Chains A and B, each alone.
Chain A
Amino acid sequence: MTGTATATPHPAALSLHEVTASYGGRTVLDNVTVRIPAGLLSAVVGPNGAGKSTLVKAALGLVPAVRGEVRLLGEPLKRVRSRVAYVPQQDTVAQDFPITAVQVVEMGRYPHRGWLRRLTPRDDELVAAAMDQVGVLDLAGQPLDELSGGQRQRVFLARALAQQADLVILDEPFTAVDARTEAALLDVLGELCRDGRSVIAVHHDLRTVRERFDHAVLLSGDVVAAGPARSVLTAENLERAYGLAPLTAGTA
């Protein structure tokens, strides 16, 4: 089961080689080696405390990787910053920040424009197109803190789309999101992959992963299994990761 991913023809969207990372003084990832192929909708799953968020944060340089080597789109992070978009967990974003929806999406163009260069008309087009794609164009002028959880998450995905990134990484994107929004966002993410881009989402809902994702990495401190989603989420693997089989595993 483990390692079937390496047989796919795609280059890696993300590869970690012997990465050790700690968070809050505790070693969460210990010598992890994993390769997530490009062009797929991939999920990072596992129990609470398994190091799912730490894995993507270490890959993005947001927690210092103590040891090991990380490659995004085959390159070190500093060479691909503008090509990698990130949708953080909602609680790391300032909740009461005075900002409108369109201003959030405009930030997606900042990695291309740096500190001082003005956004161009082309940037404005990309921003509008991204908002339209996730159905929040009519909310452009709304203050972010007056939007619902689902609307907020659509806005953050629009920011990633506006960035025109080749790799989109999302940390628990569907918490505090209604089922309709979740399905709509998954459709958009699937379109990105058909476009040749790569999507990696930290996620905890195994049912969604089985039904909607191409690829999965099952974590529990280290990698329990990685490969096509259905072949990773077997009862046997889930038992190894979670200690006991969660309810959804019984239907496998």
Chain B
Amino acid sequence: MTTADDLMIVLIAGLLSTACALLGSFLVLRRQALLPDAVSHAVLPGIVLVFLLTGERASLPTVLGATAFGVACVAGYEWLRRTRIVGSDAALALVFPALFSLGILGIGQFASGAHIDLDSAIYGDITFAPLRTMRLAGVVVPTSLVITGIATVLTVLLVALLWRPLHASTFDPEFAELGGLRGRAVGQVLLVAVAGLAVVAFDSVGAILVITFFVVPASTARLLANRVGTMLVAAVAVGWLSSLAGHRAAVAFDTSIAGTIGLTSGALFLLALLFAPRRGLLVRTLRRARS
């Protein structure tokens, strides 16, 4: 039995997984897979600040405030990394706890009575995504569907436009820089796009599902593909499959949708890790045994 709400949930999750898989594939290949996780923490001071300024937790200003700090997080990360004085992983690990702490202090000092409930302030839940609606050309549609639809279209356009510099600079940053492809600048655009998409997605479906969508389908696809183009297609396919199968499982077992989608994509990754035709553990073990 499928209701309109069920269809909406699968559609929102699928669209979002598409956008996340496209950007996430490049993050995984650039060894920046932890970035969405960091952004999910770094946005807190933005939420608190907007609450202090406006006294409300309305969606749009909060998303804008959160985005500002998400971008601040990636900018700080980029800057620290470029100094080459701290490692890339440490640069990320240094920036986001500082911002998160700032948010915690903000709540403690100024907003302790306000019950900023992080879950409802920005970290939404996909289960309730169909309930928040808006009118679009006279039709009532879930706000999240509109937002994730726009985000997905923009992401596809961005990746199409930046395909060559992204491809070249992820593979060989020095070549891309020298060849005039502006790889460094394109890398920064990627980070800002990730921060923006992550914040929008947190609001629609919750942080954990976003982090899952950025990393797990892309990692699964990496095991199956020999080219980045095929990897992106495979990642999108894994995202949709996880959304659909995860949602069915949640309905069947009457449990959390985000949880089952996350688990499903994890299970698909495990399958690929074991049985991928060229890079899976089974093939590697057999190859080693034979040689």
Contacts and interface: CB of A to CB of B under 8 A. Distances in A.
Interface in A33-79: 57, 60-62
A88 B171 contact: no
A81 B178 contact: yes
A100 B167 CA distance: 13
A116 B161 CA distance: 7
Contacts of A25: 83-85
A86 B171 contact: no
Interface in B221-265: 222, 225-228, 230-231
A237 interface: no
B226 A107 contact: no
A133 B272 CA distance: 38
B230 A98 contact: yes
Interface residues of B, number: 30
Nearest to A141: B226
B108 interface: no
A231 interface: no
Interface residues of A, number: 32
B170 A92 contact: no
Tell me what chain B mostly uses at the interface: helix, strand, loop, or mixed. helix
Contacts of B85: 24-25
A86 B180 contact: no
A86 B227 contact: no
Contact of B174 (A86, A99, A100, A116): A86
A110 B181 contact: yes
B29 interface: yes
B177 interface: yes
Nearest to A163: B179
A55 to B, nearest CB: 14
Contacts of B208: none
Contacts of A86: 174-175, 178
Contact of A99 (B171, B176, B278): B171
Contacts of A104: 171
A25 B80 CA distance: 12
B164 A110 contact: yes
Contacts of B227: 98-100, 103
Contacts of A114: 164, 180-181
Interface string A103-132: 110010011011110000000000000000
A84 interface: yes
A143 B231 CA distance: 13
B180 A97 contact: no
B173 interface: yes
B171 A94 contact: yes
A241 B164 CA distance: 42
Interface in B131-167: 161-162, 164-165
A93 interface: yes
A60 B180 CA distance: 11
A23 B84 CA distance: 8
A110 B170 contact: no
A159 B176 CA distance: 12
Contact of B178 (A61, A93, A143): A61
B172 interface: yes
A62 B83 contact: no
Nearest to A97: B171
B180 A81 contact: yes
B104 interface: no
A84 B171 contact: no
B178 A94 contact: no
Contacts of A57: 174
A95 B103 CA distance: 38
13 contacts: A24-B84, A82-B179, A86-B175, A92-B172, A92-B173, A93-B171, A98-B227, A99-B228, A110-B176, A114-B180, A115-B162, A115-B165, A146-B278
Interface of A: 23-25, 57, 60-62, 81-82, 84, 86, 88, 92-94, 96-100, 103-104, 107, 110-111, 113-116, 143, 146, 159
Interface of B: 29-30, 83-85, 161-162, 164-165, 168, 170-181, 222, 225-228, 230-231, 278
